[in-house]
Amino acid sequence: QLYRDARECLTLLSQRLGSQKFFFGDSPASLDAFVFSRLAPLLKAKLPNGKLQQHLKSLQNLCNYCTSILSLYFPWDGGEMRPPASPCGFRAEEDPHKRRNQLLSVLVGLVAMLGYAFLSGIVSIQRGSAGPAGRQPIALEEEEEEE
């Protein structure tokens, strides 16, 4: 039932879009952002059951719609144009700097979380005397005396 409803929804979106560039003419609206945010992952993701993805790929105007938005609003770095590909033929090209970008993202997130923890008072640094002599005795010694 769910797949049937989703297929019907995609078909209705395709009919509503027709041959227009965007749903309400030549300029994008919030509906275009919403629809694109649902269609693009459906086209690009590897799904365990590809029935809905295959149906979407059969709707050529929706594939062209996604490709148009991707090339218009998400161009390659440096302003280069996307290499020619079929409208629904998304290729996962390996980013040579993927590991570096992931590491930098993790480091930035870690620094942000630590900064928040210090500034909010969740974590604080207390200066004390160095070495084990400056530490408080543990309660284990008191238990030994009782025995």
Over the stretch 82-119, which tens digit does the pLDDT of each residue have?
Answer: 454 555 554 445 567 888 888 889 999 989 998 888 88
How far apart are the C-alpha atoms of 51 and 97, rounded to whole Å? 33
Please give the DSSP secondary-structure letter assigned to residue 80.
P
| Per-position b or e across 110-140, b if 16+ CB within 10 A of its CB | eeeeeeeeeeeeeeeeeeeeeeeeeeeeeee
Q: Are 77 and 31 in contact (CB under 8 A)?
A: no
Q: Nearest Cα to 59, choosing from 103, 5, 17? A: 17
Residue ranges per structural domain of the chain: 1-74
| Model pTM score | 0.50
- Give the model's confidence band at 122: pLDDT under 50 very low, under 70 low, under 90 confident, else very high: confident
- Give the model's confidence band at 9: pLDDT under 50 very low, under 70 low, under 90 confident, else very high: very high
How far apart are the C-alpha atoms of 37 and 128, rounded to whole Å? 54
How far apart are the C-alpha atoms of 56 and 11, rounded to whole Å? 8
Mean of the per-residue pLDDT values for the chain? 78
Tell me the average pLDDT across 6-21. 91
Predicted pLDDT of residue 27: 85
